[in-house]
Chain A
């Protein structure tokens, strides 16, 4: 079953992946080119294979999803511009959304008619996400949102966003927060793109969002008002664990690294090359085991933090090794191996987003090992 599906995916990708890499999705042109690519995927019903068919998916098993991801990265297919929606909001709606919300939002998401940005962090709420101050004030038929969100991935060019807002002014920390959806071009919304660190082009992959009494109807509250923290933490598990970084990405990068080393790599870097491949293989096997456990009815809890630290540090180490192999070419942004540099810069963000690795290590120590708080 998985093999037949894998074969179909491989054949489709071989016939459709652009020969020339698309411009960075963190540019206006690149963003729309990636949207067009998402539409091609959707037309082939390959955008969200693990989703229900009525939302554009194929009801594929987790094992099939993993096979899809391996093939996707092995084919060097474009980055997923819809990732925030597809891998974070989508699973959250499937778990906590109403039928009306799923019917209205998910088909447009999988078809890339709406591309979603995340709006978690605030200037004073980064790792300490429960310090959120952006608020939602009750209004006729909905809520009026005000405040500032920042480091919002994809927000510079995306259509809509999801985030947490304090809807009970008397509640503190993780209580009184609601999970809300809003349009990035709605009245009262101002988006200020932020230039990212380095890169071969000017990239504005994330942005600040200023909200001034932005109206959100009750229909765009996910779950019950005030229950946002619990719902967002479930999204966080998706983000940290299975969905944000599929093993296929690291397997493909590790295979390219081994080839690079074989080309003319010094013996002194051999161990690091081997470790990168071993790490990618370990992550693949570990993810397969997790998928099997979930398929058997298990849940993904604090152990998601183990994977987040592992893949993000593997990603950095793998790309650092590639740059060390490239020697003087490692700094050249328009040379033949510039992709390693771009991917390295991308990897550097991994230990920071989706909960810094320091937060994850504390979670591992307290929730998995039971060390005192």
Chain B
């Protein structure tokens, strides 16, 4: 199921002119990118993580992961992990709590927002300091949240910073109206959903970088032969393949553990983030080296993936934080699954 879904998504995105849309997104012209997002909504991608009672699909987490991977594969601009995973997870917790009268605050619009996200009428983003100090792509989002400690607020975007990925902006998010207090667990969960989705994006971007490297190495000739015939190139790309291949099962296991609210969810999400980010970064470094000077230009589309990977590696918790969390969780006895 998730494989077929990914194939449909891949075909759609391959014909959607995503690289051009990403470049215009970088120039502040969001319309072509938002058109891609509307196509994604048409396929149900924006509804995957929204529960059915809020007009979403409540889909398998494997489908969500497959979709985010494909968005990373095509370097789709916009707040992917935020709007497709973290914001729906946070709002669903607030909406559930609100229906039980659980949150001191004004979470009353959560259900409405969830329906908007599912339909693709609304794009959401969020900041969760300290791990996620800025809201990504707030200028494309109709809903900006801020979760700090256990306090979840509607936020208004402040100072805008440029990301190393030109097709991504980072905005400070100033607390506005309080939606819920005492929601630390829900916020932590949302952070894990974001980290999971970001891991999937990284894995997809890594795959794209490997594919581009293989294409280039087969076409580019030096010393009278394709550069891909040189063993140094072969072995480097073999290592990239191995990294991506062994990151995938960690990603799928993390998705299932998180959806089941299992005792190993935190450990598994962190393991997936570490492996996917390392694999994607290895793919990026190899891709740049295999492409040579042409890869070091802004004109070449490779730059879209190279810089997105560089931006996402430290997002949603650094590699060091996630490694530390794996060991911490092992110490709680959740270690041997």
Contact = CB atoms under 8 A, between A and B. Distances in A.
A306 B323 contact: no
B234 A310 contact: no
A370 interface: yes
B336 interface: yes
Interface string B221-234: 00001101101011
Interface stretch (B4-12, B45-53, B324-332): B324-332
Contacts of B249: 282, 285-286, 288-289
A283 B246 contact: yes
A283 B245 CA distance: 10
Nearest to B319: A271
A361 B323 contact: no
B247 A282 contact: yes
A361 B335 contact: no
Contacts of A360: 238
Q: Which of B210, B237, B319, B330 has the largest count of A CB atoms less than 10 A from its CB?
A: B330
A328 interface: no
A281 interface: yes
Interface in B245-284: 245-250, 252-253, 271, 274-275
Contacts of A270: 323-324, 327
A255 B331 CA distance: 11
Interface string A341-373: 000000000000000001011101110111111
B247 A251 contact: no
B241 A368 contact: yes
Q: Which of A270, A271, A275, A371 has the largest count of B CB atoms less than 10 A from its CB?
A: A371
A362 B214 CA distance: 14
Contacts of B161: none
Interface of chain B, helix or strand or loop or mixed? helix
B327 A277 contact: yes
A371 B274 contact: no
Given A258-B335, A286-B245, A372 B218 contact: yes
A72 interface: no
B239 interface: yes
Nearest to B241: A364
Contacts of B35: none
A275 B274 contact: yes
Interface residues on A, range: 35 or more
Contacts of A281: 250, 253, 271, 337
B18 to A, nearest CB: 24
A309 B237 CA distance: 13
B80 to A, nearest CB: 24
Contacts of A366: 234
Contacts of A277: 271, 326-327, 330
Interface of chain A, helix or strand or loop or mixed? helix
B320 interface: yes
A359 to B, nearest CB: 11
Given A251-B336, A282-B250, A369 B326 contact: no
B239 A371 contact: no
A66 interface: no
A361 B231 CA distance: 9
A362 B231 contact: yes
A261 interface: yes
A273 B326 CA distance: 10
A362 B275 contact: no
Interface string A176-212: 0000000000000000000000000000000000000
Given A255-B335, A277-B327, A370-B218, A309 B238 contact: yes
A275 B217 CA distance: 30
A285 B250 CA distance: 7
Interface string B266-307: 000001001100000000000000000000000000000000
B242 interface: yes
B162 interface: no
Contacts of A224: none
A358 B235 CA distance: 7
Given A271-B323, A282-B275, A310-B242, 19 more contacts: A255-B335, A273-B327, A277-B330, A281-B337, A282-B247, A286-B248, A306-B242, A306-B246, A309-B239, A360-B238, A364-B234, A364-B238, A364-B242, A365-B238, A366-B234, A369-B214, A370-B218, A371-B237, A372-B228
9 contacts: A74-B336, A258-B335, A270-B324, A271-B320, A278-B275, A288-B249, A306-B241, A358-B235, A369-B234
Interface of A: 74, 251, 255, 258, 261-262, 270-271, 273-275, 277-279, 281-283, 285-286, 288-289, 303, 306, 309-310, 358, 360-362, 364-366, 368-373
A-B pairs with the 8 shortest C-beta distances? Answer: A365-B234, A285-B249, A274-B323, A361-B238, A364-B238, A371-B228, A361-B235, A282-B246
